[in-house]
Amino acid sequence: MGVLRAGTGEPHFFFVGRMRRRMPAHALLMLRSGNRMVPAGFDAALHAISQDCLHTEQDDLVFKDAEAAARATADRFRGASNPASAAQYERLARRIVDRRLE
């Protein structure tokens, strides 16, 4: 489980979810605006497989894994005595839950 942040400046683009060999297996793609979260799988070349290609069960799993990944990342920052970053990833987890409920 993990979070990958892409880009050098804000707003960032995120992959939040399940990783396999340090690469995203399935994740929420969070676009730079932060207002759009797209569940996606990834092929071996890291090309995103669009939401339309995923089944409902997979979609649910992506959101569940993304929330767990954000919380695990928050826990890692908390354990490293970085409460500000921990709080940021806790907020991200709440946004993921709120978006899923919409």
- Give the tens place of pLDDT for each residue, 31-46: 766 566 677 777 777 6
As given in the structure block, the two tokens for residue 8 are: 């050098």
The pTM score is 0.75
Any idea where the domains of the chain sit in the sequence? Answer: 2-101
Q: Please state the rounded mean pLDDT for residues 15-24.
A: 79
Residue 73: enclosing H or E segment and its boundaries?
helix 56-79
Instruction: Please tell me the distance from the alpha carbon of residue 17 to that of residue 65, in angstroms, as a whole number.
Output: 5
- Give the tens place of pLDDT for each residue, 48-98: 676 555 456 777 888 888 899 999 999 999 999 999 999 999 998 998 888
CA atoms within 13 A on the CB side of 79: 6
Q: Are 99 and 36 in contact (CB under 8 A)?
A: no
